[in-house]
Structure 1
């Protein structure tokens, strides 16, 4: 007998409605979210609250005497007035380093995805190999490479690209080079993940339709790789702007970035309100820029 006949004889519905989930089953999802929620509260919400509160302390207080909460919003204005130069410098250095990483990373990711063949996994390992050593050690190695009597400077002087008294250390070139080297893998990996998913037959189809390679790239490859471009630029730009190791080891006081200023205010000057205000300003500025960039870039495929 079919289900319909049985239903007619018994009076039951041939398609019984699903039973409602029990309250215990409904709570299972919330219990699973609980560890992650507690982690975010302890290590994100509370530190963020503490940072914002610190930025509103009385600027006339001190570490020894303590700070009073006076809701001193003027700290933000004074921080911008006093430290706008390293803030702008950080944004410029971060943008230049991100652009260089995008160019180099795209070429490398494209080569790994389409040209590496059976060496693909090995090349990916080589991309992330620098992560096996300390960030500090990698930056110090660049300091040795760019030293005044090093091979790179001597070669550039021989080619008359750099003057006889020219140098690379303690210049913006050295700081940006360090940023590019340290954050290039953050650009390559998202780009590779996006480019590797592109169906190569689409690229072949563009050439079959008599499209020039450059036109085919900008009509097919580039649009399909945009999710990786957006992810890579964000993963590179955000930490590059807040970095202070490269500027401290490869630059001079003229190349100080906002991270160096915040570190000195917290550890040397003990000016917690100014340091907190600068940190909040930097965070909000990057947040606004990221939201604008993501909105303009169009990232439906990232969701």
Structure 2
């Protein structure tokens, strides 16, 4: 029991340590693809260190909601990371039905971030909060029609069991898993405010969703929000890479190698998408999300009736 808890804690710390590195790898590859040298891969760590040392200043109109939201946001992502099926042992938090808790613990972080954005009293941040709430309505079904479809087929309701039930041993199931991974990729792009849904590097009013909600934050609060965004991106990266069976291998070395290759390929894919695509118009984003949902539904139906 103690060993299992210790292994789970180690997994969480590994995820927390590698999350900024994964974001830095994406930024580095984006720079290379556009012919620039770019910031070093460890730049997110430097940015977090700088933010940690800065003074936190709260708006005069802000209530306690704005003060507790960054902390709750950070804690929820740590809990979500503790539920991930990464490693060769069970995660720190794992039980039947934890797939529901996982989905809504992420929803809780969004809820408090939206509340904090509205708490400031700025119409600018309120606009971003409204957009975030609207697109979340379309994004959540993608999760349940992709990860949920594997749960339906495997008969498991725990993330660890769902992912460890994946066996790429027949062509129809392999196609099913690949299409599920495409849906989750589209979900990750949306939830992590990446191109073409949102631009993480812009401060233009007409194109902002996530960044506009944290414009009035500084110091430790901004540190927590920024670190949380890195963790969230890496959480979806782990969900994506785990489709390809890295930690169900008999050899630890092969499993770690598959995970590292998968992380590099995924970071490169995100960099390519963000380099060659432009920001969608707001009215087109729900169509993009509905397309991802439709892929998940059709994939489940096709596999169910053809297997």
Larger radius of gyration, structure 1 or 2? 1
TM norm structure 2: 0.27
TM norm structure 1: 0.27
